[in-house]
Amino acid sequence: MRIIKARGLLKLIYLFAGIVQIAAIFSAFEKPAYAYVDPGSGYLLLQIAGSMLAGAAFFVRHRLKRMLGLAVDSDSSPPPQSGPIRDEK
Amino acid sequence: MKPLTSHSTATFRDPAGSLRISQDRVLRTVRREFAEDCLRFLRSEIAQQWIAEGRLVETRVLHEAAGEELELEHEPVFFPTYPWEWTPGQWISAGELTLDFAEQQLAQGRVLRDASPLNVLFRGSSPVFVDVLSTEPRDLEDPLWLAYGQFVRTVLLPLAAYKYLGWPLALSLMHRDGYQPSELYPHLSARSRFRSPLFSQVTLPHLLERRRGSRASPRVRLRSDIALAVQRQKLRQLRKHLHVLAPKFEESNWSRYEQEADHYTIEDRGHKRDFVEHILETARPQHVLDIGANTGEYSRLAAQTGAQVVSWDTDVAASESNWRFAAANRMPILPLIADLARPTPALGWRNAESRSLLDRARGRFDCVLMLGVIHHLLLTDQIPIEEIARLTAELTTRWALLEWIPPSDVRFQELCCRREHLYGGIDEHAFVHSFSQEFALISRRLLGNGRILFLLRRNN
């Protein structure tokens, strides 16, 4: 039981380290988001922050459910090893 | 019925295509790069379902060929309106429809790229989404909704300004792209800046924009299922904010008018109602314009005889009450906040993007009701009676049902206020004479309180 808990904790640490790393990459290499309408820079930043938090929360919830052996949302596919946030292509 | 207008371009800002109104047809040209996707959307099950439910404008393909522009024709909406003429309830209804559509599009792997309330018109009391080019395939790993800011600026912030600052929703006619958070922020009290949803929709964006300026923002990519969950959560949050911003219904002197009209006995009111009902049932007009509709008592009579009704009134609370009843009972009544003496002007590029109220109304109705409103036009707005008669003749193609309030009436005297020498001479004879140039008198009913109802038929 202790080993499982330690593993879970380690995974969470990896996850948040990953998020911080990706956020740092975003700040360093900005690319514009193109839109037909003005997205508004304040709303866009807010959405970015909200998306990262919501994405992380979704990912953690998903992982926790799997670790605890609870049912996982049917519309979510198995999480990849790399974590929820992907780098810009 | 007179055509809407000839060969006017209604929208042209959209890079994917343009819309023009030719005679009474609404035609859309889609650029060839967007044609295939537009057709895919229109033929999708969800688009067909929305069209069947009357929530998306009916559209037929006029011309399609590979590598060529696509030509579409939309079913015309009888009386196009703009958000600056809507009641608060209509704003909420249009916002809900936009969010419903955005949610449906997400489920189809698409996204709404334009979330302005100008994409919504009303058929009676039912909102209909009219911009079929507003949707595009979604980048499945992108959790950002680029039209989010536009929805907040053009729907949520005008409602917030109305609810918390008392700024009329009609002011939206001066702000094509809605309000910027920086326009509202200085006017909010320190406490309300931290109130939900003002904190997330005004305070935070304002502070972020001020700190960051207009630098480009990065893209974010998430795993597709997470990106979808984030997008859905965002729409849920916007819906919640929309409901929080729904203004509480507040009575006004005019919205209580029917209950408090002390210049009408119950008997006189009954006689007036019977006369109007009898005329509407006999004439059976198809399109009725109720000017000075108040809370819509006579609009509802017209709707019950099978007419499509457009109700104009200057009072927000009375129009909102009219809207709520019509919407709850799905009646073919379209209440608008409109002033015949100061009608909505034409707006936008070359004054041709948004049409004036009168341009949309002239010759579109076969019956005009003006009950208890002519003395206001005459005395408050100082419009000469001959002018009122001429404009009435421009608005109706056949019937005019009018109420004349004589100078002896207590309300006439209140409004006249020491100007009897100017208006005291406008008696029934002068009133009838003014309208006789354009109309024939068909029926007259004198009420016990001295007010007179007239049914006039327009001369051909």
Contact B143 A51 (CB under 8 A): yes
pLDDT in tens, A11-31: 666 666 565 555 544 443 444
pTM confidence score: 0.86
Q: Please report, in tens digits, the pLDDT of each residue of chain B (460 residues total).
A: 444 444 456 677 888 999 988 778 999 999 999 999 999 999 999 999 999 999 999 999 999 998 899 999 999 999 999 999 999 999 999 999 999 999 999 999 999 999 999 999 999 999 999 999 999 999 999 999 999 999 999 999 999 999 999 999 999 999 999 999 999 999 999 999 999 999 999 999 999 988 765 556 667 888 899 999 999 999 999 999 999 999 887 767 666 666 666 667 888 889 999 999 999 999 999 999 999 999 999 999 999 999 999 999 999 999 999 999 999 999 999 999 999 999 999 999 889 889 999 999 999 999 999 999 999 999 899 999 999 999 999 999 999 999 999 888 888 777 777 777 777 777 899 999 999 999 999 999 999 989 999 999 999 8
CB < 8 Å to B228, chain A: 75
Q: What is the DSSP string of B339-399?
A: -TTSPPPPBSGGG-SB--HHHHHTT-EEEEEE-S-HHHHHHTS---HHHHHHHHHHHEEEE
CB proximity B145 to A under 8 Å: yes
One-letter identity of residue B448: G
Do residues B303 and B332 touch, judged by C-beta distance below 8 A?
A: yes
| Closest in B15, B149, B208 to A39, CB measured | B149
CB proximity B241 to A under 8 Å: no
Contact A43 B214 (CB under 8 A): no
**DSSP single-letter state for residue B248:** P
CB < 8 Å to A47, chain B: 143-145, 148, 234
CB < 8 Å to A33, chain B: 144, 146, 216-219
CB < 8 Å to A21, chain B: none
User: Contacts by B420-423 with C-beta closer than 8 Å and gap 24+?
Assistant: B423/B378, B423/B379
Contact A84 B217 (CB under 8 A): no
**Closest residue on chain B to A29 (Cα):** B218
Q: What is the DSSP string of chain A?
A: -HHHHHHHHHHHHHHHHHHHHHHHHHHHS--PPP-SS---HHHHHHHHHHHHHHHHHHHHHHHHHHHTTPPPPTTPPPPPTT-SEE---
Q: Spell out which chain A residues touch chain B, with contact meaning CB-CB distance below 8 angstroms.
A: 26-27, 29-33, 35-48, 50-52, 54-55, 58-59, 75-77, 79-80, 84-89
> Which range has highest mean pLDDT (A31-35, A50-54, B254-258)?
A50-54
CB < 8 Å to B149, chain A: 37-40, 42-44
Distance CA B34, CA B48 (A): 19
CB proximity B200 to A under 8 Å: yes
ipTM of the complex: 0.73
Residue B84 distance to chain A (closest CA, Å): 20
Contact A54 B143 (CB under 8 A): yes
Please name the residue that has the structure tokens 């800011």. Answer: B149
CB proximity B107 to A under 8 Å: no
CB < 8 Å to A65, chain B: none
CB proximity B219 to A under 8 Å: yes
CB proximity B267 to A under 8 Å: no
| Closest in B141, B217, B234 to A44, CB measured | B217
CB proximity list for B430: less than 8 A, separation 6 or greater: B385
Beta-strand relationship, B308-313 and B287-291: parallel
Q: How is chain A split into domains, by residue range?
A: 2-29+40-71
